[in-house]
Amino acid sequence: MSGLKDANALKQKYNGIEVIEFRDEATVILPLDKLHEALKYASDKLNYDFLIDASSLDHGEDADPRFEMVYELATILDEKHLRIRVKVEEDQPVPTATDIWATADWHEREIYDMMGITFQGHPDLRRILMWEGYPSFPLRKDFPLAGTETELPDVAFTGVAPLEGGPFVTSSDSKEPRAKG
């Protein structure tokens, strides 16, 4: 079900908002400084109780602004859907949505890890897929398709992956891998 009525309610409440309807889906485009307040309003007053997804786009180094954040919201009872988009400059922090929806935690960590977009106020902003200290952001358009050179031995190999020293080890009394420590 379309969230067009709710998108128009957001447009009336906040200045500088654009509403787009396409194929019975409503998208709200708003400035970054209104993002957190609009997400909170959507949650508290419009009853969007489910953050389906938070994702990011990299429009390339020459685009201004380079990045865009996209939030997919839904209501569980009446099955409405609303998309909220904001443009983000490179190195510009985005306010966290973890205080509104707990599911934003992992979404924002993945966006930080893969795109390098930071989230102001996030309770645990650290890499989730790549290891700490990894120097790049693999989903940015300037990341080389062939990957980057590394000094780490045996990072990309075709043999059987050794278990010794890995994140999981097996125990002789168990059939399942167990985390170390």
State residue 42's pLDDT score. Answer: 97
**C-alpha–C-alpha distance, residues 67 and 111, integer Å:** 11
Identify the domain containing residue 48 by its residue range: 4-179
User: Taking a C-beta distance cutoff of 8 angstroms, is the pair 83, 73 a contact?
Assistant: yes
CATH number at residue 121: 3.30.460.80
Total number of domains in the chain: 1
How many CB atoms neighbour CB 25 within 10 A? 16
pLDDT along the chain (181 residues), means of 10: 88 91 94 97 96 98 96 94 97 97 98 98 95 90 79 56 53 52 53
